[in-house]
Amino acid sequence: MNAPLSNQRIIVGVSGGIAAYKAVVLVRRLIEAGCEVRVVMTEAATRFVAPLSFQAVSGHPVRTTLLDAEAESGMDHIALARWADAVVVAPASANLMARLANGFADDLLTTLCLATSAPVHLAPAMNRQMWAHPATRANRDRLVEHGVTLLGPAAGAQACGETGEGRMLEPEVIVEAIVEALADALVANARPDLAGRHVVVTAGGTREPIDPVRFIANRSSGRMGFALAAEAARRGAAVTLIAGPSALPTPAGVERVDVETAAEMQAAVESIGAMDIFVGAAAVADYRVAAPADHKLKKSGETLSLELVPNPDIIRRVAERAERPFVIGFAAETDHVREYAAAKRVAKGMDLICANEVGAGKGFDRPDNALLLLWDGGEHELPQADKTRLAGEIFDTYHQITQD
Ligand code: C5P
């Protein structure tokens, strides 16, 4: 799926109403659209749908209480409020709207809505009389005055058996509205500081075939490279993303070339002429099988040896071009991170190397990472952060080094 967004962080707030079951589908659809989702439920919502359902679809524990010692020691409510690019409350009950309109912060969800600087969207869902009540109307007007966006409600048959205005919008319609709002915000907030540049990014791991059904691969998810491609596009660059096999959605405005092997990645990079910035974020296999079998290898009781031959070093070749771009590479190390990375930067002719420690749950296939950036005459330590944020810092560092 070619999702219009990637790496956008959404808090889905669920308040107590029968439409809460539809919020499970909403979370699902937001994730399919490329968003990262955390779910926060009111106490009443948990009577309608078990938090476990939301945990299963979002892939993260659900937060229900404000003063949860364990959760507060991890991402506390202020950190969660800052984390979000948008908050969507669906369903928003009459009670939730009343509390929000009056600035209550008597549970986690209302507190987050007060504490966040991200846009808040509400998808009201209630009986038509409740929606039409002057108290609800006043709350609605007040919320709109406070900058909250209302999505719906729709008119139609209601769970209470009545027909009228108050039905929650369908999850797909809510997702469409959110995606549009986020895309608009991205464009409005982007600094076009890479406008007019061609940025080429390699991402993901490669697959080196052994035979038609087996291959040698690695743990790279492609997330860092995809985040860099997305960030470069947001900053106005023309971006080519050369990606090893990855299920990640293509970031908006990025031209994607899918490859499998290191040789294919190499050929794809070579086919590109002028580039201003090259980012080698791919975990390219150092070796490939010398002669992959053209038929499925049969099992036998004997040991099997595979002859491996070195793959071309893609980033080094780019750095050796006569008209070389600014070259950014990565170093994933299990130990001696600084020394090994500094040596690798020089050996491969990179202008900037982004080093990180891998192994023991660090680095690969995670949405966040910590990086040490090294260049000729300087360094930056970037503490554990979301890969989107890191991508931004990497391009900021590029500007710092090149002073443009
Ligand atoms: O030597 P090592 O694999 O640790 O180097 C990592 C850096 O070099 C990364 O930026 C990676 O994308 C790049 N690389 C490459 N081609 C290779 C091996 C690594 O571009 N064959």
The answer to the question of residue 4 being in a domain is no
> What pLDDT is attached to residue 158?
87
- Give the structural domain span for 353: 198-402
The pLDDT averaged over each successive group of 10 residues in the chain (404 residues) is: 62 97 97 93 97 96 87 80 95 98 96 96 97 98 96 91 93 94 78 94 98 95 95 94 95 94 98 98 98 95 95 98 98 93 98 89 70 96 85 95 89
Report the CATH number at residue 396: 3.40.50.10300
Are 316 and 393 in a shared domain? yes
Q: Which distant-in-sequence residues (6+ apart) come within 8 Å of 94 by Cβ? A: 124, 126, 130, 131, 133, 136, 139
Same domain for 150 and 203, yes or no, is no
Q: Which residues of 275-300 are buried (b: 16+ CB within 10 A; e: fewer)?
A: bbbbbbbbbbbeebbeebeeeeeeee
pLDDT, residue 306, reads: 95
Is 160 a known active-site residue? yes
Residue 23 has a pLDDT of: 98
- The string of pLDDT tens digits covering residues 17-32 is 999 999 999 999 999 9
**Residues 229, 301 within the same domain:** yes
The whole-number pLDDT of residue 276 equals: 98
Shared domain check, 288 and 362: yes
Q: Is 311 in the pocket of ligand 1 (CB under 6 A)?
A: yes
314 touches ligand 1 (CB under 6 Å):
yes
Question: Which residues is 86 bridged to in the sheet?
Answer: 10
Crossing angle for the helix pair 20-32 and 171-189, to the nearest 10 degrees: 50
Q: Do residue 205 and residue 175 come from a single domain?
A: no
**206 assigned to some structural domain:** yes
pLDDT score of 363? 57
Pair 294, 383 in one domain = yes
Does the CB atom of residue 262 touch ligand 1 within 6 A? yes
Question: What is the number of domains present in the chain?
Answer: 2
- The pTM of this model reads 0.65
Both 280 and 178 in a single domain?
A: no
Cα(344) to centroid(ligand 1), Å: 9
Tell me: do 62 and 206 sit in the same domain.
no
Classify residue 359 by its DSSP letter: B
Ligand 1 in reach of 228 Cβ (< 6 A): no
CA nearest ligand 1 atom 4, residue = 331
CA distance 66 to 305: 58
Six-digit token pair at 268? Answer: 């794809």
Does residue 329's CB lie within 6 angstroms of at least one atom of ligand 1? Answer: yes
Q: Which atom of ligand 1 is nearest to the CA of 350?
A: 10
- Do 356 and 288 have their domain in common? yes
Confirm whether 3 is domain-assigned: no
Task: Tell me the Ramachandran region of residue 300: left when phi exceeds 0, alpha when psi lies from -120 to 50, beta otherwise.
Answer: beta
Residue that terminates a domain, selected from 160, 188, 216: 188
CA-332 nearest atom, ligand 1 = 4
> 335: CA distance to ligand 1 center in Å?
17
Is 152 strand, coil or helix? Answer: coil
What is the model's pLDDT at position 359?
73
Q: Measured from the CA of 262, which atom of ligand 1 is nearest?
A: 21
- Which one of 188, 206, 229 terminates a domain? 188
